[in-house]
Amino acid sequence: MASQLANMATHAPFKVGMKEVYLPNFKLIFKRTKHLPANYASFIVPLWFSKLDLRDYLYHAYNVRVGPVIRSYVEQGRIRQGQVPEPTRPQYKRWHRPRGTKHMTVELERPFAWPERPTDLTPWNKEETTMASEEQQAYGEKVGPQADQLGGRDDRRVAMREQAKALLEGKEKWKPGLSRGVGMAFGR
């Protein structure tokens, strides 16, 4: 493992940090911007994210090389009024500023082109989807928790009623369903 990390570090075009991220616990939002050229990408990142973190993440996760220009800024949230804490107190509202959002813009070595928006937005297979949902609904009515009220378990009820009647009349002898071999093993 250490040799793979050393090998990856030697191939990176920059000095790679030692922070290993296997499953990230953060969100990066890739923004679609019209005012930037194709070789720039804009992201919304967590407030603690640094320029080096973004560069390392893009390189290791997507093999995207970032140019020398990385800009970042924190956009302040607008001042808002809070809600009244309790209706019995006098009517006053507290002003507060919500947490800001951090934006980063990077220069890419190769330009990125967004894929074309799809023109046909119809579902891919409507007949199969409706047939599957009807089958699922029928199965749910048959074995679901409310099947007794909906009448879905009538055939099983009838069979159990006939079996109980035959046992009470003595026409059939009781045999345990799943443990037939177990009774034989204990000499019963």
How do residues 95-140 score in pLDDT, each as one tens digit? 878 889 999 999 999 888 888 887 877 767 888 888 999 998 888 8
Q: CA-CA distances (angstroms) from residue 6 to 9, 24, 164?
A: 5, 21, 73
Q: Cα–Cα distance between 117 and 104 in angstroms, integer?
A: 25
Higher pLDDT, 38 or 118: 38
- Mean pLDDT, to the nearest integer, of 167-180? 76
Residues 7 and 57 in one domain: yes
Q: Cα–Cα distance between 158 and 186 in angstroms, integer?
A: 33
Residues 88 and 150 in one domain: no
Range in 73-82, 104-113, 137-146 with the lowest mean pLDDT: 137-146
Take residue 176 and report the two structure tokens written for it.
């345990």
pLDDT of residue 187 exceeding 70, the answer is no
117 is a domain residue? no
- Cβ neighbours of residue 132 closer than 8 Å, sequence gap 6 or more: none
* Chain CA centroid to CA 23, Å: 14
pTM above 0.75, yes or no: no
130 is a domain residue? yes
62 is a domain residue? yes
Which CATH number goes with the domain that contains 15?
Answer: 3.30.70.330
pLDDT of residue 59 exceeding 50, the answer is yes
120 is a domain residue? no
Q: Of the ranges 14-18, 130-134, 182-186, which is most confident?
A: 130-134
Residues 98 and 150 in one domain: no
pLDDT of residue 42 exceeding 90, the answer is yes
